[in-house]
Amino acid sequence: MSKKTTLYFVLGVVVGLAAAAYAATAPYERFPGVVIGGELTPPPADWNTVNDHGVVFLKLAGFPPFVIRIVYSTDDGGIITATRPDGGYWAGRVRGGRRDGWIRLGDETYALTATEIAGDERIPYLENYGAKNGMRMGYDFDGEIVPSVNEPLHTWEVFYWTPR
């Protein structure tokens, strides 16, 4: 094997390993990772005690492994997540039967199950979610949509995560 061929082979291996390491350890909003990390932790008695994080990690059960960063809020019984009604991948996986997952808050990872909240029942969850994350609901008190809001939060899909 020539020096040039050896160099190209080594460079290919290095680039391949770097890409695999990046995909496994650096999940972003639209580019999933595969490792959630953290310490598996029993659920708290009151989920409001862990409502002080901004963006957290969400891993869905099943193949392929899938970890994304997501914002959340809590209430006494669990964790609230929401997503635009745009047919997103993770929401589709939950609807497709992969309801089990893990959410990592800081160094603590919790094993949870998702339930989709539909219809008007979503509104209190979205109000909680919007208040924590600085997002407007997108309608006025007469029920009219506020035109200045590009993506009104009240249209979003809600998933409620409880311990499994």
Counting residues of the chain whose pLDDT is more than 90, the rounded percentage is 48
pLDDT on residue 4: 83
Alpha-helical runs (H) found in the chain: 3-25, 89-95, 122-133
53/18 Cα distance (integer angstroms):
29
Angle at 132 between CA 37 and CA 108, to 5 degrees: 20
Residue 11 half-sphere exposure toward CB, CA atoms < 13 A: 6
pLDDT on residue 23: 59
pLDDT on residue 27: 46
**Residue boundaries of the structural domains of the chain:** 3-163
Predicted confidence (pLDDT) per residue in 55-72, tens digit: 899 999 988 888 888 999
Q: Where does the pLDDT of residue 9 fall: very low under 50, low under 70, confident under 90, or very high at 90 and above?
A: confident
Predicted confidence (pLDDT) per residue in 82-126, tens digit: 998 888 888 999 999 889 999 999 999 999 999 999 999 999 999
pLDDT on residue 129: 93
Assess contact for 90 and 66: CB atoms under 8 A.
yes
> Please, what is the average pLDDT of the chain?
84
Predicted confidence (pLDDT) per residue in 135-146, tens digit: 877 655 555 555
Two structure tokens written together for 127: 């109000």
Give CA torsion, residues 53, 109, 32, 56, to 10 deg. Answer: 0
Could you tell me the CATH superfamily of domain 3-163? Electron Transport, Fmn-binding Protein; Chain A (2.30.110.10)
pLDDT on residue 30: 46
